[in-house]
Amino acid sequence: AQSVTQPDIHITVSEGASLELRCNYSYGATPYLFWYVQSPGQGLQLLLKYFSGDTLVQGIKGFEAEFKRSQSSFNLRKPSVHWSDAAEYFCAVGAQQAGTALIFGKGTTLSVSS
């Protein structure tokens, strides 16, 4: 079955510290991978996506993610977290095939401490 797992429900990071949010997927086809962020009361905003090519992708707001096929992972990283990064982060997987839905993980809530 196709699924996305975000093992960490809640993470607290000090401002200025580095961040890594984990994402593992189970998908039969070649996956398209996405990271979205949701601030309270807002819709989702795309941070970055991976379709093919270089497995290290750069996104907005200083985020990057690395696709590791052997580990079925697509972890999100940021070298230095800002207080404004506090939000909920969702990993999602899809494919460019008719009838393929985007499957989301349950999300990781990031809190930033001063």
Partner 1 sequence: KAGVTQTPRYLIKTRGQQVTLSCSPISGHRSVSWYQQTPGQGLQFLFEYFSETQRNKGNFPGRFSGRQFSNSRSEMNVSTLELGDSALYLCASSLGLAGGNEQFFGPGTRLTVL
Task: Determine if 104 is a binding residue for partner 1 (CB under 8 A).
Answer: yes
Closer CB to partner 1, residue 49 or residue 77?
Answer: 49
Residues 27 and 24: their CA atoms lie apart, in Å, by: 10
- Give me 19's structure tokens: 């961040």
The CB-of-29 to partner 1 minimum distance in angstroms stands at: 9
Beta-carbon count within 10 A of 32 CB: 18
Binding mask 28-47 for partner 1 (x = CB under 8 A): ----x-x-x----xxxxxx-
Task: With contacts defined by CB under 8 A, name the span among 13-21, 56-64, 68-76, 95-103 that binds partner 1.
Answer: 95-103
83 burial level (CB within 10 Å; 0-12, 13-18, 19+): exposed
Is residue 89 within 8 A of residue 13, CB to CB? The reply is: no
Site for partner 1, rule CB under 8 A: 32, 34, 36, 41-46, 49, 51, 90, 94-107
